[in-house]
Amino acid sequence: MARIRTVRLTLEAALMLVASRRAGKPLTALLLAGAVLAFLLGGAGPASAHATLTGSEPADVSVLKTAPKQVTLTFSEGVSLADGSLRVLSPKNERVDRGAVTRAGGKADTARVMLSGKLPEGTYTVSWRVVSADGHPISGAFTFSIGEPSATSAVAPSAETSADTAASRLYDAFRYVAYGGLALLIGVSMFTLSCWPAGAGLRPLRRLLLTGWTALFASTVVLLLLRGPYETGRGLTAVFDLSLLGRTVTGRGGLALGARLLLLAVAGILAARLATRLLGSSDGMRESSAADAAPPSHASPAPRADAADRPAGERQFGTGVYGAGVLFAVGLALTWAVADHAATGIQVPLAIPVSVLHLLAMAVWLGGLLALAVALFRAPAGTVIPAAAVARFSRLAFTAVVVLVATGVYQSWRQVGSLEALATTEYGRLLNLKVAAVVLVLTAAAFSRQWTAQLGHRPQPPETLPATAPQRARLAQTVGAGAPSGGDTTEDTDADRPPAPADNPAASDSPSESGRHLRGLRRSVAAEAVLGVVVLAITTVLTGTQPSRAAVESAAATAAAQAPKASVAVVPFDVGTPNGHGRAQITFAPGQVGDNTVEAIVYGPDGGPSSVPELRLTLTHRAQRIGPLDAKLVDRGGYWATDRLRLPLPGTWTLRVTVRTSDIDQVTVSKNVTIRPLPT
């Protein structure tokens, strides 16, 4: 709940930021959005458990007559084991487990450790820490006793304490950085390649792209180093343990991080080769601008066309570059999908590609939005952004949002499972906040589309120039940092150009209208950027939160574990003599299919235990026509019992209890008892 309150307050702060007219410059809004993300980084708690302990042998708080030879744990899903994953401590806080932690019967959802041969009586503590299938560590502890319970000096860390370590907090923080780097790297690349190829020559966009690559590469290196301490619960000094790093690299999470580093290294090399070409285009733009600013000379050659004069959607690179970029983006997204929630649960073959599409759509939308915001606010003076480029990104962003909604609905169904879980689980409540934030972003995006449409379809002055006249006057339909907000929007002045007619209101009003539309576009894009960062932060918190479906299953497993481990039947009897009545209490442990221990105690008319010379018990499963099975109870001095009664089927069994109180006085009575099936 604390995490949800943190996210809710953050969302409210972002809304106040968007609505405030005192936000000042749009760049200030973007910087404050970064502060919002930093606030979430500091307020995020440790990730919830994603697998749960469903059973153990010995059971929690059980009292055993003899010392067990091993301790076995069973989990709700497959788990990864490491040295020290399962420890058993004596009452004197001494380790009594020996050998490596293994699987029980080769099952991936179990953990087993052998115990020392001679164990004294007393209470023993079992401490465990494993890694669930989606890469998140879980831990816990329980006790059992041999002979009878005793005081113990063993101290096992709680699940919350062992999860909230310095390594885990740093690991969670750099997961945020990695998501932000992914969004910048893919989104800025898509914006420059598909929407505005000429923008690849802008230094602010190149810096933004380099920031994304650097953030993703550096955070991946740190995550790989912290993975071992994060999984084992050790301190930060464990990052220097080469053996631990070796085990990390060979695990599923380590392999995914290693593949991500390899992809980033290859992409960095290819990008460095393309950088020369981009810088060359940028130099050409500057030379052309200088030539335009120089006094006209009849001896000077005509200015050559540069990248800035290209149409917004014209491709600047070959098909191979675009194909390699798509493969690179898909590969990066896969490194998340194969080691996160999508890799566990139901419909994994479908969930992984859906998760990849969801990540890519998020990166294209949010990263492209930040690229557009930087282009609008930080581009050098004199730089213009074609309205067609903004319109193209608007269509691309709309497609990305459609994909986000479609894949998000599937992921929500897969992770939540029911409408009730939306309000009763932490994951569901966080998902509600994310949906609310997305709706606000879509609202801001609708305003952006309106401003873009008005910029692209604003009435133009009547065309009176000859066919050979320069066409740069049409750049009145461009927007950007260099586009004036209230003055003339043309870039060239030509003495030969006839003035606009005085009676043409479109010509006289278009500069102020263009400035108003541009300011509106900047405000709406700033709002989108702020709320988009909040959506990204909530998404990252969701990846560290136990899905609702798993939470419900865990709660059911916990309730089953806390349920009585026995079936009890109380059978009244009366032999027809004075003081010849009472009741027999019969307990079946564990009260399920298979071997059961049966204990029967006879209580007399005064309510106290009573000794009887004979007590017989038979069981019949009438529905399946099984029985009667003789329990063969043995007098144990005060109570009757048998150590092993095998019941082959679950359901209702009829007990026939014969109680003999004297040589000639006895009675047989019946009672039904329910035997549970084996847990699945």
| DSSP sequence for 267-278 | HHHHHHHHHHHH
The CATH number of the structural domain formed by 53-163 is 2.60.40.1220
More confident residue, 607 or 184: 184
More confident residue, 259 or 542: 259
The DSSP line for 82-94 is -TTSEEEE-TTS-
Residue 88 has pLDDT above 80, yes or no: yes
Quote the tokens at residue 292: 């335009």
How many whole angstroms separate alpha carbon 618 and alpha carbon 654? 8
How many whole angstroms separate alpha carbon 22 and alpha carbon 108? 57
How far is residue 516 from each of residues 369, 461, 567, measured CA to CA in Å?
21, 18, 77
Q: Do domains 53-163 and 564-675 have the same CATH topology?
A: yes
Cα angle at 515 between 512 and 521, to 5 degrees? 145
Cis-peptide into 137, omega within 30 deg: no
Instruction: With H, G, I as helix, E, B as strand and everything else as coil, classify residue 588.
Output: strand
Residue 26, pLDDT score: 46
How far is residue 407 from each of residues 186, 317, 412, 442, 567, measured CA to CA in Å?
18, 30, 8, 16, 46
Residue 50, pLDDT score: 61
Q: Is 21 exposed, middle or buried (0-12, 13-18, 19+ CB in 10 A)?
A: exposed
How many whole angstroms separate alpha carbon 429 and alpha carbon 12? 16
Q: Is 493 exposed, middle or buried (0-12, 13-18, 19+ CB in 10 A)?
A: exposed
Q: Is 269 exposed, middle or buried (0-12, 13-18, 19+ CB in 10 A)?
A: exposed
What average pLDDT does the segment 562-578 reach?
Answer: 81
Instruction: With H, G, I as helix, E, B as strand and everything else as coil, classify residue 54.
Output: strand
Residue 549, pLDDT score: 65
Q: How confident is the model at residue 78 (pLDDT cuts 50, 70, 90)?
A: confident
Residue 457, pLDDT score: 55
Residue 325, pLDDT score: 85
Q: How confident is the model at residue 558 (pLDDT cuts 50, 70, 90)?
A: low
Range among 299-308, 315-324, 429-438, 643-652 with highest mean pLDDT value: 643-652
How many whole angstroms separate alpha carbon 9 and alpha carbon 651? 52
Least confident interval from 342-351, 414-423, 468-477, 499-508: 468-477
How many whole angstroms separate alpha carbon 396 and alpha carbon 434? 21
Range among 149-163, 237-251, 352-366, 412-426 with highest mean pLDDT value: 352-366
Paired sense of beta strands 62-64 and 137-146, if any: parallel
Q: What is the pLDDT of residues 321-369, one digit of tens each?
A: 778 888 999 999 999 988 876 777 678 888 899 999 989 998 998 888 8
7, 8, 11, 13 alpha-carbon torsion, rounded to 10°: -110
Diameter of the chain measured on Cα atoms: 137
Quote the tokens at residue 634: 């043995």
Q: Which residues contact 557 (CB under 8 A, 6 or more apart)?
A: 52, 54, 76
Residue 400 has pLDDT above 80, yes or no: yes
Q: What is the DSSP letter of 474?
A: G
Residue 259 has pLDDT above 80, yes or no: yes
Q: How confident is the model at residue 320 (pLDDT cuts 50, 70, 90)?
A: confident
Quote the tokens at residue 613: 């010379």
Residues 88 and 95: beta-carbon distance below 8 Å: yes
The fold adopted by the segment(s) 564-675 is Immunoglobulin-like (2.60.40)
Q: What is the pLDDT of residues 46-77, one digit of tens each?
A: 333 467 788 888 888 888 888 999 999 988 77
Residues 228 and 407: beta-carbon distance below 8 Å: no
Average pLDDT, the chain: 74
The pTM of this model reads 0.60
How far is residue 24 from each of residues 17, 381, 436, measured CA to CA in Å?
10, 19, 26
Quote the tokens at residue 483: 């586009």
Give the Cβ contact number of residue 477 at 10 Å.
18
Q: What is the pLDDT of residues 513-532, one digit of tens each?
A: 666 766 777 777 777 777 77
How many whole angstroms separate alpha carbon 391 and alpha carbon 549? 40
Q: What is the pLDDT of residues 613-668, one digit of tens each?
A: 999 999 999 988 888 999 999 998 888 999 888 888 888 999 999 999 888 889 99
Q: Which residues contact 139 (CB under 8 A, 6 or more apart)?
A: 127, 128, 129, 130, 157, 159, 162, 163, 233
Residue 313 has pLDDT above 60, yes or no: no
Range among 58-62, 290-294, 465-469 with highest mean pLDDT value: 58-62
Please give the share of the chain, as a percent, with pLDDT higher than 90. 17
How many whole angstroms separate alpha carbon 243 and alpha carbon 15? 48
Residue 526, pLDDT score: 74
Instruction: With H, G, I as helix, E, B as strand and everything else as coil, classify residue 596.
Output: strand
How many whole angstroms separate alpha carbon 618 and alpha carbon 616? 7
Residue ranges of domains in the chain: 2-46+166-289+310-458+475-483+519-556, 53-163, 564-675
Element (H, E) at 670: strand 666-675
CB burial readout 88-105, b (16+ within 10 A) else e = bbbbeeeebbeeebeeee
What average pLDDT does the segment 494-504 reach?
Answer: 43
Q: Which residues contact 171 (CB under 8 A, 6 or more apart)?
A: 223, 226, 227, 230
Residue 574 has pLDDT above 50, yes or no: yes
Q: Which residues contact 662 (CB under 8 A, 6 or more apart)?
A: 577, 613
Q: What is the pLDDT of residues 218-230, one digit of tens each?
A: 999 999 999 888 8
Q: Which residues contact 571 (CB under 8 A, 6 or more apart)?
A: 583, 584, 585, 586, 655, 657, 669, 670, 671
- For the chain, give the number of residues: 680
How many whole angstroms separate alpha carbon 64 and alpha carbon 68? 8
Backbone torsion region of residue 584, taken as left when φ is above 0, otherwise alpha when ψ lies between -120 and 50, otherwise beta:
beta
